[in-house]
Amino acid sequence: MPTVVITGVGQRLGLCLAEHFLAKQYIVVGTYRTERASNKNLQLKGAQLYQVDFYDQQQTQRFIAAVTNNNDAIDCLIHNASDWHDDNEVLDFAAYHQIFSNMMTIHAEVPYQLNLAFRSLLTPKDDHQFTDIIHISDYVAAKGSKKHVAYAASKAALENLTLSFAQRFSPNIKVNAIAPALLAFNEHDHDSYKIKARNKSLMQTEGSFQEAINTVEWLLASRYITGRTIHLDGGRHLK
């Protein structure tokens, strides 16, 4: 059976991706940071999950060792683990430093480490086959964000990693990124916010997690796409 490694499967897109690949009879290896009922449900369905705080280098290294020791091959590596900080508030320099360090760690350093550590597992045994690395980026990587400067910068770094690893790992490991804007609202989002958010795109709606899953499948099926960032933003760039 094919194997997919997905970081950050506890909720939202990561959870939907894990459930999608389990339904397709993939071996799903996933990470989560916080204990949730969703984690136990995934394990009951057969997912191999690891609790990892990627801000802790020792935990990151233990995860790498576990995956390397327990798997002979990886068909797809999806970097979905993410974090979010609002640095628009008045903070001291120590807080600014920590926020920027955290954002770069989770969105750039960890994908960098995992890509390099798992390269041998991702290398196809057949020269005519391909494996995939997919970075989950964000619409703001190209636009910037006045409220989330560090977050936007770290996602831009992730998209640059997409370019570099596509070159380093060619021709048999495809490396691409997906940059969504609004996929789905959170339960606590107010109606006024939803209206404002929808109006930011030409399509006037949220994209849905299924849209991202469809894009992942499209990239996996391709034999000629690498080093690209696929934008799922409903036409926000034209507003």
- List residues with catalytic annotation: 151
Q: What is the CA radius of gyration of the chain?
A: 18
* Spatial CB neighbours of 230, under 8 Å, sequence gap ≥ 6: 176, 177, 178, 179, 215, 219
Q: What DSSP state is assigned to residue 222?
A: -
* Spatial CB neighbours of 64, under 8 Å, sequence gap ≥ 6: 113, 114, 117, 118
Do residues 5 and 30 touch, judged by C-beta distance below 8 A?
yes
Q: Which two tokens stand for residue 133?
A: 């690395």
